[in-house]
A and B are shown apart, each in its own frame.
Chain A
Amino acid sequence: MSEIITVKNMSKSYGDHRVLKDISFGFESGQIIGLLGPNGSGKTSLIKILVGLINDYTGEVLIDGKRPGKASKAMVAYLPEKTYLADWMKVKDAINYIADFYPDFDKAKAFKMAEGFKLPLNQKAKTMSKGMQEKLQLILVMCRNAKLYILDEPMGGVDPAARQFILDTIMKNIPEGSTILLSTHLIYDVEEIFDSVLMIGKGRVLVKTETERIRAAGKTVEQLFKEVYGSVWETD
């Protein structure tokens, strides 16, 4: 199977501060990958590079064999941590907007999901609660038939019931053969769904393994996470 994400000797600095240091890894398609790491570990910078928001890095990054750009953006569905909807956009405007640019977007499904999530089609984004905006953004991402889904902290800042709802929505709507890269620090809630994990810290890849192997060693992902990051902070 071909690699959906390939990163070779990639580094990224903000001024004198290097957030990603010569990292290399690759993932085959068709799996759910957990991108794990504490705050400031470089997770969001890595994601921004993969989706083409940051271009001034060194090394090689390929999405399904292509450098992040127009072609890769067409096959990646990205859910950022932030709310990106314009104030004027109503629910229906946001759905129509995404449908305009992504041929793989299922507009009918999006309208149906909005109805199911009790999102009024004529309500403007600026009058919605944060929870409603997050639901809408989740619809916009999960109604695409993308090759790669990159979800940055989709469950950050929401209560446990909402976390389960988000997780269920993701799992129900992921097309077969697609890949999910999900960044989170709430490992306990999601570790069951991961096929592989990538733990990064201090700008380096600390662990890249399949969850089967972690479990075979009699550990949970969360336990491994605590071991890895505990030692990282100790040595610092």
Chain B
Amino acid sequence: MFGKLIKNEIKSSAHSIGFIYIVTAILIGLFEVAYATNNTKIGSVALVLLTITGIAAIVVTFFMIIVQFNKSLFGNQGYLSFTLPVSSGQLLASKALVACFWMIASWIVSILVITIIAFKLNTLIETSEFFGMNIKDLGKLFVSSMVGDDFSAKCLVAFFGALAVYALVVVIQLISELYFAVTLSNTRIMQKMGVFSIILTFFVVFIISSLLLGFFTAKFPLGLQINYDSTLAITKSLNVVSDNVLTIVPLGGIFFSIVSAALLFVATSLLMDSKVNIK
């Protein structure tokens, strides 16, 4: 059943979120054609629209995740969703997984758009210090700006691996906060406040959890130290004290984020089971 929930959730969300990716793909194509044919007029328009779409992908995805969750569970569609022979935990998990996928996809699309624009502009602007660089050189430049020049492949994998894990945890925590806020706003008491209650609840949850994250990270400054010499070490301080240290991953903060997301998902599931009111 869980697989079927995921399949139908992807299908359903693609109808509301998918259009931004289709628009982005069309604009990239248009930008490429304008670039290849030296059509500066169309190229300029496509460039502006592509920049807007690159940002919009993140914003639209964020808002559509909220709308989709609210509509499919607490609007009329809730009569269908909540009478399916599945648990509310399964419903929630399927929606969270798919939302996670879309949120990461929106980041990837934005990074892709920025990269394409940077690469094309670089070859167009002769005064640019990057003029004449190919995509491989630009990639190297990007990596060296993140981790410096003196790095090994192993160190690079560790850095980007840690970055990916950190980003994933941030996305999961954000989704847990959003879902909790939407669900709490659909309890009988909060429902009277309308959409305002979703915004209010989200900001309250977000601020509290950010404060707790800061407190937890400061109180338990446990970190994973990634060194230039490709070694990893557990450290009890988040301050970089040696030239050999590439970065320190805040393990305490990540642990707190995972625990807080888990607790919020459990709370959301309990609210869905007992307190929500389908309009």
| Any A CB within 8 A of the CB of B8 | yes
A4-51, CB < 8 A from B: 14-15, 48, 51
In angstroms, Cα B272 to Cα A53, docked, is: 10
- Interface hub of B72, B76, B188 (most chain A Cβ within 10 A): B76
In angstroms, Cα B261 to Cα A173, docked, is: 46
User: Which residue of the partner chain, among B1, B12, B78, contacts A101 with CB atoms under 8 Å?
Assistant: B1
- When the two chains form their complex, are residues B1 and A88 in contact, meaning their CB atoms are under 8 A apart? no
In angstroms, Cα B79 to Cα A53, docked, is: 8
| Any B CB within 8 A of the CB of A78 | yes
With A55-B274, A56-B274, A101-B1 given, is the CB distance from A73 to B83 under 8 Å?
A: yes
- When the two chains form their complex, are residues A100 and B77 in contact, meaning their CB atoms are under 8 A apart? no
Nearest-neighbour CB distance to chain A for B5, whole angstroms, equals 8
- When the two chains form their complex, are residues A84 and B77 in contact, meaning their CB atoms are under 8 A apart? yes
- Interface hub of B16, B83, B273 (most chain A Cβ within 10 A): B83
In angstroms, Cα B5 to Cα A70, docked, is: 14
B72-122, CB < 8 A from A: 72, 76-80, 82-87
Interface residues on B, range: 20 to 34
- When the two chains form their complex, are residues B84 and A101 in contact, meaning their CB atoms are under 8 A apart? yes
| Any A CB within 8 A of the CB of B278 | yes
- When the two chains form their complex, are residues A100 and B8 in contact, meaning their CB atoms are under 8 A apart? yes
| Any B CB within 8 A of the CB of A83 | yes
Cβ–Cβ < 8 Å partners of B86 in chain A: 70, 73, 101
- Interface hub of B4, B80, B278 (most chain A Cβ within 10 A): B80
User: Which residue of the partner chain, among A52, A82, A97, contacts B8 with CB atoms under 8 Å?
Assistant: A97
Cβ–Cβ < 8 Å partners of B85 in chain A: 70-71, 73-74, 101-102
- When the two chains form their complex, are residues A52 and B83 in contact, meaning their CB atoms are under 8 A apart? yes
Nearest-neighbour CB distance to chain A for B67, whole angstroms, equals 12
Nearest-neighbour CB distance to chain A for B6, whole angstroms, equals 11
In angstroms, Cα B89 to Cα A70, docked, is: 11
| Any B CB within 8 A of the CB of A199 | no
Cβ–Cβ < 8 Å partners of B78 in chain A: 53, 84
A81-107, CB < 8 A from B: 82-88, 93, 97, 100-102
Cβ–Cβ < 8 Å partners of A76 in chain B: 83
B235-279, CB < 8 A from A: 273-275, 278
- When the two chains form their complex, are residues A86 and B77 in contact, meaning their CB atoms are under 8 A apart? yes
Nearest residue in A to B14 (C-beta to C-beta)? Answer: A88
User: Which residue of the partner chain, among B1, B87, B278, contacts A53 with CB atoms under 8 Å?
Assistant: B278
| Any B CB within 8 A of the CB of A175 | no
Cβ–Cβ < 8 Å partners of A86 in chain B: 12, 15, 71-72, 77
Q: Which residues of B approach A to under 8 Å, CB–CB?
A: 1, 4, 7-8, 11-12, 15-16, 71-72, 76-80, 82-87, 188, 273-275, 278
Can you spell out 7 A-B residue pairs with CB atoms less than 8 angstroms apart?
A: A48-B278, A51-B83, A56-B275, A70-B85, A73-B83, A100-B7, A101-B86
20 further A-B contacts with Cβ under 8 Å, apart from A14-B188, A80-B79, are: A53-B79, A53-B278, A55-B273, A55-B274, A56-B274, A56-B275, A70-B85, A70-B87, A73-B83, A73-B84, A78-B79, A84-B78, A85-B77, A86-B12, A86-B15, A86-B71, A88-B15, A97-B8, A100-B8, A101-B1
Q: Which residues of A approach B to under 8 Å, CB–CB?
A: 14-15, 48, 51-53, 55-56, 69-71, 73-74, 76, 78, 80, 82-88, 93, 97, 100-102
